[in-house]
Structure formats: C-alpha cells, structure tokens
Amino acid sequence: MFDLRERTALMTGGARGLGLAMAHALGAHGARIMLLDRDEATLSVAAAELRAAGIEARTSIGDVTVPADTVRAVDAMRTAWGRVDVCVCNAGVARNAHAHEMTLDEWNAIISVNLTGVFFTAQACARPMIEQRSGSIVMIASMSGKIVNVPQPQAAYNISKAGVIMAAKSLAVEWAPHGIRVNAIAPGYMRTEMTAPFIADPALGGVWMDLTPMRRPGEPAELGGAVVYLASDASSFVTGHTLVVDGGYVVR
C-alpha cells in the first residue's frame, strides 16, 4: 500500500533540505521525481544524488512565485511520463521580523513563496490530476501554522503557514469529487540549512529544544514516512488532514 512504482511526483524546493529528503523517500518507494527549484547549481547536485541512489529524477529550474514556472515543470512531467500523481508543495522561506516594523516588501517576500506559491503549485498539478481523476497533493506547512514560536518574531511566516493548513482543507473539499486528495505536513524544528545556524545558537536553539518534549530537532529523513504515507494509497481515505511531525512541540 506504500508502493509508488509507476507514480510520478513533483517536489518544489527539492534542491536541498526537507524537499530533497522527501524526494529520496518517495523515490525509494518507486516514484519518479521532478525537482523544481530556483537554485540551479544545487538543483543539479540534488538530481545527481537521487540518480546515484537509483531514483529516476528530472529537474526544472523555476520560481514558485511565478505560476508559469510550475506549469512548465508539470508540463515536462506529462511529456516525460504522461502523468502527475503526487505534488509536494514544499518550497518555502523563513525570515524573522517584528510585525510593527515590517515593510510590504518583507511581507510579500514570505507570503508570495509560502502561500501564493503553494496555491499555484497545487493548481498546476490539479489540472492534469482532474483529467486523470486521481492525485495526491501534499503541502508543507509548519507547526508555526498552529502555534506561535518563541522567542523570535515571525508573524508573517506563521500567518503564511496557517494559510497553507486552510489551503489543504479548502482544496481537499473542492477537489475530492475529482479523485484528488490534499493534505499538509506540519514539521516542527528540523535540522536543515534553513535552521542549522539558529539551532546551534543557545539563545534560540536552546529555547526551542527546551520547548520540544523530545529535546532534539528532527532530521530531514524523519519526514520520509509522513510524505510517503500521504502520497501513497496507504492514506486513500485521508484528505484535508494536517500531519504534525514535531517531536511533541504542539502538544505542550
């Protein structure tokens, strides 16, 4: 039931971090992977890494804030493989800023990637999925869509991720008649390039780990089970759900 052979998967922000780790997990279960990322150099290294692991991987350079870029990646999947089965809307950015000082440009820099980019990636995938009458869309939200992290000020990020959780619910309802499931994953603090410097800082990482019942950050590979579950038939009656993977942070 976790078998992804014959399935194809789009992974945005797949050049590194959680996106690359999830691509490994999907590929290990048989999926063919299209990595989309705006970082061209890292993207080709990531694809080579997947191929070395025996995974069929292609790349598409693009920015998720430009809907035509995600449409181009989806079209390339249809040309190469004839179908789009799994769509992981993972690309995201985090920046800390005090709400009372935030400029419109700072706000848009977060919302355009984390929320607008997720919505239009899902839309690009849904169009062929509606024709196929099947598909699984997985949106990478965050525990920050459910709780307010401390001590850093990150209102725009939190608001964007709460929007992703509602996007998964809204699109799950709207696209259920088309055979498309839409779910979200809400990771807690995971050790990636995005967070590593902060985790190493006792004033920040120390507080974060004190608030995490398991007292450690997650490793990127620990999202593998969640994404394979939501992408595969193992979750065939699950839609509109947000799966929290956070070492217990949100339950305290």
Listing from the earlier edge strand, what are the strands of the sheet with 8-12? 57-61, 32-37, 8-12, 86-89, 135-140, 180-187, 242-245
Omega into 151 within 30° of 0, i.e. cis?
A: yes
In the complex, minimum distance from the CB of residue 210 to ligand NAD, in angstroms, rounded to a whole number:
16
What are the b/e assignments for 74-102, b being 16+ CB within 10 Å?
Answer: bebbeeebebbbbbbbbbbebeebeeeee
DSSP annotation of 178 reads: G
The span from the CA of 69 to the CA of 85, in Å, is: 18
Among 49, 56, 63, 222, binds ligand NAD (CB under 6 A): 63
In the complex, minimum distance from the CB of residue 186 to ligand NAD, in angstroms, rounded to a whole number:
7
The answer to the question of residue 163 lying near ligand NAD (CB under 6 A) is no
Binding residues among 181-240 for ligand NAD as defined by CB under 6 A: 187, 189-190, 192-195
Among 73, 74, 94, 122, binds ligand NAD (CB under 6 A): 94
- 229 as an active site residue: the answer is no
Binding-residue total with ligand NAD (CB under 6 A)? 30
Is residue 94 within 8 A of residue 154, CB to CB? The reply is yes
The answer to the question of residue 247 lying near ligand NAD (CB under 6 A) is no
Among 7, 32, 38, 181, binds ligand NAD (CB under 6 A): 38
In the complex, minimum distance from the CB of residue 46 to ligand NAD, in angstroms, rounded to a whole number:
8
In the complex, minimum distance from the CB of residue 108 to ligand NAD, in angstroms, rounded to a whole number:
12
In the complex, minimum distance from the CB of residue 48 to ligand NAD, in angstroms, rounded to a whole number:
15
Is residue 224 within 8 A of residue 21, CB to CB? The reply is yes
The answer to the question of residue 142 lying near ligand NAD (CB under 6 A) is yes
Q: Determine the straight-line distance between the first and last CA of the chain, rounded to whole angstroms.
A: 33
Query: Nearest to residue 113, comparing CAs of 99, 93, 97?
Result: 93
Closer by beta carbon to ligand NAD, 64 or else 77 = 64
The span from the CA of 133 to the CA of 166, in Å, is: 23
Applying CB under 6 A, the residues found at the interface with ligand NAD are 12-13, 15-19, 37-39, 42, 63-65, 90-94, 113, 117, 140, 142, 187, 189-190, 192-195
Q: Active-site residues: which are they? A: 157
